[in-house]
Amino acid sequence: MYRTRGRVYSSTMISVSADLAAHPAPLEYWFFKVHSGDLAFLVDFIVRRTTGQAETRVSLWVRGRGRVARAYADAWHTDSGITIANNVLDARHSVGVVDDIDWNLSYEVLHGRAAPSALFINRLHPFDLEAVSRPRVAFAGHVTVSGERFDLSDAAGSLSHYWGRRLADRWHWIHANSFEGKDLTVEASVLWTRLWGRRPHLFGGYVWTYQDGQERMVVSPMTGLITFKGTLDDYCLVARGWGHATRMHCATTPERYNDLGEGIQQTLLGSCTVGNSGVVDVRAGVEYRVRPVP
């Protein structure tokens, strides 16, 4: 369940397969992230229909050292999830090979669903991107990097899907679910989006939280307000909904980022503090994009 303006919505009625179903959009991403021991691992499956190209992009860190690897294809299919060459992501597992990296992972999608794309206004498709996320996922299997194998068992991660006409010119994304001793997961995305692909820009986004079995979500500016204050590497988000506020402080250092291209910087080694109690995740996913507006 999540609460928006005092109402409670079920997050379990829609299947994971439905969340991963393809959309006829110019740009579409599916991705998962997982962190276990010395390995932090994220894989994007990207379809660019305007150019007829698909990409599998791996962003990883081994003992704090990051790298990015890519593989391209001119064909793909979306029967159940997404398949690009021999790389597959569906509702239950993902397998693939990119350069000297291979993975074979199964996962269980746990309770919780962040779906700002379900709002009525999205039927008009006004924003650059729409999204749905499963922020609480348990992974098992293995990842091999340069011959070193990492075995995963009940490792915490997430699974997401977004699509639209173009990348937003600027965004910040946060995902954190490794708060020691706390049943807490947070996910947030704020962006400066064009309306129907044209100016002016609108600042909006969502903050989703899960704590002790309860979901809350603020979608700004529709069901509450989110404010952003700070720099690219050190900032605070405050989401104010009906009778509730969530405060997050996110920070990292420039050397921890992987450069994904297109103005996107990403780390899975960020710091995310929630509330005033000092509850912190030092293995948070933190990403931003800043692209000069022509």
At 188-198, the pLDDT tens digits run 999 887 765 56
Higher pLDDT among residues 123 and 60, named by residue: 60
92 in any annotated domain: yes
Please tell me the predicted confidence (pLDDT) of residue 54. Answer: 98
The yes-or-no verdict on residue 4 having pLDDT over 60 is no
For Cα atoms 156, 174, 238, give the angle at the middle one, nearest 5 degrees. Answer: 125
Please tell me the predicted confidence (pLDDT) of residue 5. Answer: 34
The yes-or-no verdict on residue 233 having pLDDT over 60 is yes
The yes-or-no verdict on residue 142 having pLDDT over 90 is yes
pTM of the predicted model, to two decimals?
0.90
237 in any annotated domain: yes
Residue 169, φ and ψ in degrees, nearest 5: -65, -30
Residue with tokens 């379900």: 118
Please tell me the predicted confidence (pLDDT) of residue 244. Answer: 86
255 in any annotated domain: yes
Please tell me the predicted confidence (pLDDT) of residue 192. Answer: 81
Q: Determine the Cα–Cα distance for residues 46 and 76; give it in Å rounded to an integer.
A: 10
The yes-or-no verdict on residue 123 having pLDDT over 90 is no
Q: Determine the Cα–Cα distance for residues 189 and 205; give it in Å rounded to an integer.
A: 5
98 in any annotated domain: yes
The yes-or-no verdict on residue 167 having pLDDT over 50 is yes
Write out pLDDT tens, residues 261-291.
Answer: 999 999 999 999 998 777 899 999 999 998 7
Higher pLDDT among residues 189 and 12, named by residue: 189
Domain that holds residue 37: 2-6+17-290
The yes-or-no verdict on residue 95 having pLDDT over 80 is yes
Please name the amino acid found at residue 42: L
pLDDT range class, residue 156, cuts 50, 70, 90? very high
12 in any annotated domain: no
Residue 177, φ and ψ in degrees, nearest 5: -145, 30
106 in any annotated domain: yes
11 in any annotated domain: no
250 in any annotated domain: yes
Number of domains forming the structure of the chain: 1
CATH of the domain at 136: 2.40.370.10
